[in-house]
Amino acid sequence: MSTPAQAERFRIDELAQRSGLPSGTIRFYQREGLIPPPEREGRVAYYSEEHLLRLERIRALQSQGLPLSLVGDLLGREEAGEDISAWLALDSAVFGGRDGERPIEELAARLVEWGVPRETMAEGAEVVRARLTEVADAIAALGWEVFASERKSIAAGQPVAGDVLARFEHLRSLAQRIIATLFRELLDDAIRARSEPFAEETVKRRRR
């Protein structure tokens, strides 16, 4: 009687190599509940083929631009036996392929990997979200005024200019470019404001 083959197991470095994901990202997914915890033997954690397939599925869903929170929800639906293909088709039709949270997720995974406390990271994320919301509201207010004449036409039941949506898309694209450029400049200034005094003080201490 032959002995059943033992399921293949990997340590996290092996799983990272096979999945093409950094080990810090895998740990981040585990903390977020996107993959099940590994089996442990003493201090050693072992991952299985199930974990590898799960990571591949997460990557496939993220390739459609879905935010990580939504990926987790869809994975739960799949595990419950629900067919999510119709939902994905609807999301693609409405949003045309999101370009959502992947950079944010990568940043979060890197910060965790580099030892930044989760509390500090959460506080920083809340500040960033709040400030970006203020910027978005300010730009939306400007855009609302740009279309003041169209609002009057709609209220009066008159035809709306056919280029309204085109103008809105142009406004959004222009705002994104301005913010990206301005943010780079402000970020450089903020980094210099923190790093230059530290560098100067370090030089002074070394000269003593």
Angle at 91 between CA 90 and CA 93, to 5 degrees: 65
pLDDT, tens digit (0-9, with 9 covering 90-100), for 194-205: 888 878 888 788
**Integer CA distances (angstroms), 28 to 20, 47, 76, 135, 198, in order:** 15, 15, 18, 29, 31
Average pLDDT estimate for 41-45: 90
**What is the rounded distance in angstroms from the CA atom of residue 208 to the CA atom of residue 204?**
7
The CATH number of the domain holding residue 98 is 1.10.1660.10
**Could you tell me if residue 194 is inside a domain?**
no
**Could you tell me if residue 102 is inside a domain?**
yes
pLDDT for residue 187 is more than 80: yes
Over pLDDT 70: what percentage of the chain?
77
**Could you tell me if residue 147 is inside a domain?**
no
Range of the domain at 106: 8-87+94-116
**Could you tell me if residue 66 is inside a domain?**
yes
pLDDT confidence of residue 46 = 94
**What is the rounded distance in angstroms from the CA atom of residue 157 to the CA atom of residue 92?**
32
**Could you tell me if residue 31 is inside a domain?**
yes
**What is the rounded distance in angstroms from the CA atom of residue 84 to the CA atom of residue 68?**
16
pLDDT for residue 163 is more than 70: no
pLDDT confidence of residue 137 = 81
Q: Which of 19, 79, 20, 74 is nearest to 52 (CA)?
A: 19
**Could you tell me if residue 156 is inside a domain?**
no
- Overall number of domains in the chain: 1
pLDDT, tens digit (0-9, with 9 covering 90-100), for 105-142: 667 777 777 788 878 877 887 788 788 888 878 877 87
pLDDT confidence of residue 1 = 47
**Could you tell me if residue 123 is inside a domain?**
no
